[in-house]
Amino acid sequence: MILAKVVGTVVSTQKEQSMEGLKFLILQQVDLEAKATGGFVIAADAVDAGIGEYVLYATGSSARQTTRTDKKPCDAVVMAIVDNWEVQGKFKYKKGQDD
């Protein structure tokens, strides 16, 4: 999975029918210091993530292993909202504190 921050949304009315009701989030990939790295991706939302939250997303066929994305042409899904992470025993990000 990849660490990312939710920064926006994409709206589409004309799409494959099975995608109806899914929300498309714009995710900026971040490094272990929670800084944006320049890369971004559009992912379906499986966990009601909001703008500004740090999340994990999964790609490929694994992106279809959620209730909302099953059997859909979706190759990236937000499947977890991050509370915190630590590297070598030191917190690098804590929700509500480093946002």
Give contact residues for a second copy (rule: CB under 8 A).
1-3, 7-16, 18-19, 24, 26, 31-32, 40-44, 46-48, 51, 56, 58-67, 69, 71-77, 79-89, 92
Closest CB to a second copy among 60 and 97? 60
CB of 47 to a second copy, least distance (A): 6
Residue among 32 and 35 whose Cβ is closer to a second copy: 32
Looking at residue 48, its amino acid is D
Q: For residues 16 and 98, which CB has a smaller minimum distance to a second copy in the complex?
A: 16
CA 83 – CA 45 distance, rounded (Å): 17
Exposed / middle / buried, residue 62 (Cβ in 10 Å: 0-12, 13-18, 19+): middle
How far is it between the farthest Cα atoms of the chain? 47
Q: How far is the CB of 1 from a second copy (least distance, A)?
A: 4
Which is nearer to a second copy, 15 or 35 (by Cβ)?
15
CB-hemisphere CA count at 13 Å for 69? 24
| Least distance (Å) between residue 35 CB and a second copy | 13
**Strands 84-87 and 90-94, how do they pair?**
antiparallel
